[in-house]
Amino acid sequence: MTSAAADAPDDKPKDAVASIAAQIANISTGERAALRRIYLTKSHEADGVVIGLLHRAGVTMPLSGETIAPWRLLAHVAALLSGTGGGHAHAPARRVGSALQAIGFSENRLLRLTAARGMALHGQIVRAARMLAQGGEASVNLWSLFHLAGRDPDRAEEARIRIAQDYYAAVARSEGDSK
C-alpha cells in the first residue's frame, strides 16, 4: 500500500553541510585522518575524499581550486572536530561564537578570526577548530564557518557579525552568572 506522498520525490533540498558532517563521522579512520592532514600533506587522496563527500551530498558545481577551497576547508574542520572517534561535527543549534567563548577562546583570537581574510582566515578557522575539539566543543554550526570562508562577501560578513555577537552574548551571560 503506497501513498502519493510516499511516491513523490523529496522536494526538500539536502543540507550539504549536515550531509558532509554525517559522512565524515562514518567514513574510514584512514580517510578521516587524510582529511585532518589535508593541508599538511596536500594529498590528492584527501581531495578525492572531499570530491566524493560533495558528490554524495548533492553539491553540484564546476570544480576548480577556487570553488572547492571552502568545501575542502569545511571537510578538514569537520574531520578535526569529529576526531578519531568519528563524532558528528555539525550541530545547527550550537553557535560558533558561544562555543568559542565556552572553551575560553580569547577576545584577541576572536578579533584575529573575524578580521582575517584569504589564507590567513583559513589558518584562523583551523586554529579555532582545533581549539574547539581540544576544549570538548566538537559540534558547532558548520554553516557559519563555511560562510565565513566562502566566496560570498555578504555571507562572510554576516558570519563574522554572528560569531562576534554570539561570543559577546555568551561573555555577558557568563559575567551575569558570576555576579
- Domain that residue 27 falls in: 14-178
pLDDT the model gives residue 80: 94
8, part of any domain: no
- Grid cell in block for residue 61: 558545481
The pTM of this model reads: 0.85
9, part of any domain: no
Q: Which residue has the higher pLDDT, 148 or 176?
A: 148
Domain count, the chain: 1
- Grid cell in block for residue 34: 587524510
Let me know: does 35 contact 49? Beta carbons within 8 Å.
yes
Task: State the alpha helices, DSSP H only, in the chain.
Answer: 4-7, 16-26, 29-36, 38-41, 44-57, 65-82, 96-102, 107-115, 118-134, 142-149, 153-178
Let me know: does 116 contact 64? Beta carbons within 8 Å.
no
Let me know: does 117 contact 86? Beta carbons within 8 Å.
no
135, part of any domain: yes
74, part of any domain: yes
4, part of any domain: no
2, part of any domain: no
- For 91-112, give the DSSP string: -TTS-HHHHHHHTT--HHHHHH
Give per-residue pLDDT as tens, 105-143. 999 999 999 999 999 999 999 999 999 999 998 899 999
Give per-residue pLDDT as tens, 95-115. 999 999 999 999 999 999 999
7, part of any domain: no
Give per-residue pLDDT as tens, 13-42. 578 999 989 999 888 888 888 899 988 777
Other beta carbons within 10 Å of 157: 13
Q: Residue 22 maps to which CATH number?
A: 1.10.520.40
161, part of any domain: yes
**Cβ partners under 8 Å of residue 171, min gap 6:** 101
Angle among Cα 102, 135, 43 to the nearest 5 degrees reads: 125
